[in-house]
Amino acid sequence: MRMLHTMLRVADLERSLGFYTEVLGMQLLRRKDYPSGRFTLAFVGYGSEENHTVLELTHNWDTESYTLGDAYGHIALGVDDIRSTCAGIADKGGRVVREPGPMKHGTTVIAFVEDPDGYKVELIELSSKAPA
């Protein structure tokens, strides 16, 4: 078994695609409209679905916003240089909501950014990641 994807419901698909592709540097892997169900699926990621876990963005055409559940946490991305990554995200209009620094009760360096729908994306500096 392997993890295939994580799905997020998004209010504005074009805005979300812009964030994940232009700000976070993912590629749009595939996109398909389902007119009879009134929704669109778009898959984004850093590599092919055959070899990588990807993110499924689901846009329900008749839904303007969602309430984020309090059980949802975040998506995590490993980065080589967290400070320059955060600076690049901010330069592209992304919102850094927790500046880079060590995690509470640990030494792993993390930061958080927020997507257009309010979902949190954790950035983890790979060189600082403590073994599990």
Indicate which CATH number applies to the domain containing 28: 3.10.180.10
Is 70 domain-assigned? no
pLDDT tens digits for range 14-73: 999 999 999 999 999 999 999 999 999 999 999 999 999 999 999 999 999 899 888 889
Examine the domain organization and report whether 90 and 54 are in the same domain.
no
Is 65 domain-assigned? no
* Residue 69 pLDDT: 87
Given a contact cutoff of 8 angstroms between Cβ atoms, the answer to whether 112 and 90 are in contact is no
Given a contact cutoff of 8 angstroms between Cβ atoms, the answer to whether 123 and 24 are in contact is no
| Mean of all residue pLDDT scores within the chain | 95
Is 99 domain-assigned? yes
Is 67 domain-assigned? no
Given a contact cutoff of 8 angstroms between Cβ atoms, the answer to whether 40 and 61 are in contact is yes
pTM: 0.89
Owning domain of residue 28: 5-60
Examine the domain organization and report whether 46 and 89 are in the same domain.
no
- pLDDT of residue 129 exceeding 90: no
Q: Which residues pair with 101 in a beta bridge?
A: 110
Is 109 domain-assigned? yes
Which is nearest to 8 in space by CA: 52, 95, 72, 70?
72
Domain count, the chain: 2
The catalytic residue positions are 122
- pLDDT of residue 123 exceeding 80: yes
In the chain, % of residues over pLDDT 90: 86
**pLDDT grade, residue 131 (50/70/90)?**
low
**pLDDT grade, residue 1 (50/70/90)?**
confident
* Residue 18 pLDDT: 98
Examine the domain organization and report whether 19 and 56 are in the same domain.
yes
Examine the domain organization and report whether 55 and 79 are in the same domain.
no
Examine the domain organization and report whether 56 and 20 are in the same domain.
yes
- pLDDT of residue 117 exceeding 90: yes
